[in-house]
């Protein structure tokens, strides 16, 4: 008979209690900051004319779609870029016998392969250090200045959005590369060497030995990177992209209900980020591999002990 699973009621109770405290604190803060007046929730249905021509809540929801869409596109493309760059940075040299040309490919091809791997690592290092060592805002403005000169015939709205997504893509690719590199290098070198000794190519070793273990380690930090990228999408307002922060700034000059406006902006960001943060916590618990770089969480350790009693 298996041992009973640990109850999860306490976890959900903590979540509900934390959300309730957050809501109460926001309401109290709102009452303090608005100088004793009540919040004007009717402002959210106020029709705004001119450039936006829609109720406030529809304007903000449309801007949220732009922010989420830009983040998803940039993250998805950056995922492939980060995977390849992280793989290049994690490449290990072949065993010495193969480098000497014994029991392996010809010496010339071996030397060319080693030179190619070294060059790819250096290029990957340059890319990652550049992306991680400079602010995203600088990258956005620099790329916007370049494309504004290179593509003057493009529609400004399309060009600005394209620039923002491209800047976010190359930025998140650098951060995801470090995540993938850490996941690849967490796999024991002995396993990789054993796969090579069996005659497996680098791709087969990556597919059947490294990836199944590395992906379990990189999924939670990749989701954290998505959350950070979504919040960083507010920087696209600097180049005129009609996303959440840009719309919020514009609406403050049309109908100045600043607190109600940014209260709703805060709520939209929280609606996206808080559930994802919870997903990250769950995945960190379920996907951890005890002994592979991290130890089991207390709840996971209890579950493993329960399975041991079968």
Residue 305: what pLDDT?
A: 45
pLDDT for position 191? 83
Contacts of 279 (CB under 8 A, 6+ apart): 223
pLDDT at 301: 47
pLDDT in tens, 150-162: 989 999 999 999 9
> What's the whole-number mean pLDDT along residues 183-195?
84
pLDDT band at 187 (very low <50, low <70, confident <90, very high): confident
pLDDT at 135: 94
pLDDT at residue number 105? 56
Tokens for 250?
Answer: 């514009």
pLDDT of the residue at 108:
62
Quick check: 308 pLDDT over 50? no
Is 3 among the domain residues? no
pLDDT of residue 100: 45
Say if CB 86 and CB 175 are below 8 A apart: no
DSSP labels, 9-57: HHHHHHHHHHHHHHHHHHHHHHHHHTTTPPP-GGGGG-EE-TTS-EEHH
Beta strands of the chain (E only): which ranges? 47-48, 54-55
Whether residue 280 lies inside any domain: the answer is yes
Determine the pLDDT at residue 279.
82
pLDDT at 101: 46
Mean pLDDT score of the chain, rounded to an integer?
80
DSSP-based three-state secondary structure for 294: strand
Nearest to 76 by CA among 213, 214, 225, 237: 225
Give 271 or 20, the one with higher predicted confidence. 271
2 within some domain? no
CATH of the domain at 156: 1.10.3720.10
pLDDT of 276 > 60? The answer is yes
CA distances from 287 to 35, 283, 292 (A): 48, 6, 11
Asked if the model's pLDDT at residue 302 lies above 60, the reply is no
pLDDT interval class at 81 (50, 70, 90): very high
Report which DSSP code applies to 299: H
Q: Look at residue 131 in the predicted model and tell me its pLDDT.
A: 94
Per the domain annotation, does 4 fall within a domain?
no
Identify the domain containing residue 113 by its residue range: 9-308
171 located within any domain:
yes
| Pairing, β 54-55 against β 47-48 | antiparallel
Domain count, the chain: 1
Percent of the chain with pLDDT over 90: 35
- Of 27-41, 130-144, 179-193, give the lowest mean pLDDT range: 27-41
Any domain includes 22? yes
Which of 53-67, 166-180, 239-253, 290-304 bottoms out in mean pLDDT, i.e. has the lowest?
Answer: 290-304
As a whole-number percent, the residues of the chain with pLDDT over 70 amount to: 75
């Amino acid at each position: 008979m298996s041992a009973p699973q640990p109850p999860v009621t306490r976890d959900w109770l903590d979540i509900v209690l934390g959300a309730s405290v957050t809501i109460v604190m926001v309401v109290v803060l709102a009452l303090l900051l608005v100088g004793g007046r009540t919040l004007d929730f009717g402002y959210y249905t106020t029709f705004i004319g001119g450039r936006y021509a829609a109720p406030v809540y529809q304007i903000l929801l449309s801007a949220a779609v732009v922010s989420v869409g830009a983040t998803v596109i940039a993250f998805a493309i950056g995922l492939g870029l980060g995977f390849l760059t992280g793989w290049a940075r994690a490449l290990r040299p072949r065993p010495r016998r193969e480098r000497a040309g014994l029991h392996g490919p010809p010496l010339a091809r071996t030397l060319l392969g080693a030179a190619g791997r070294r060059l790819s690592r250096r290029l990957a290092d340059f890319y990652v250090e550049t992306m991680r060592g400079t602010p995203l805002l600088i990258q956005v403005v620099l790329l916007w200045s370049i494309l504004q000169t290179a593509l003057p015939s493009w529609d400004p709205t399309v060009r600005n959005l394209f620039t923002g997504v491209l800047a976010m893509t190359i930025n998140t690719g650098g951060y995801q590369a470090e995540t993938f590199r850490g996941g690849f290098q967490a796999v024991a070198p002995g396993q990789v060497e054993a796969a090579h000794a069996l005659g497996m190519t680098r791709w087969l070793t990556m597919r059947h030995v490294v990836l199944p273990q590395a992906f379990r380690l990189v999924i939670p930090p990749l989701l954290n990177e998505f959350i950070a990228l979504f919040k960083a999408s507010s920087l696209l307002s600097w180049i005129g992209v009609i996303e959440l922060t840009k719309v919020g700034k514009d609406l403050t000059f049309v109908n100045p209900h600043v607190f109600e406006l940014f209260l709703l902006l805060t709520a939209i960001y929280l609606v996206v980020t808080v559930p994802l943060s919870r997903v990250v916590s769950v995945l960190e618990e379920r996907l951890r591999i005890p002994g592979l770089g991290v130890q089991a969480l207390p709840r996971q350790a209890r579950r493993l002990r329960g399975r041991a009693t079968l």
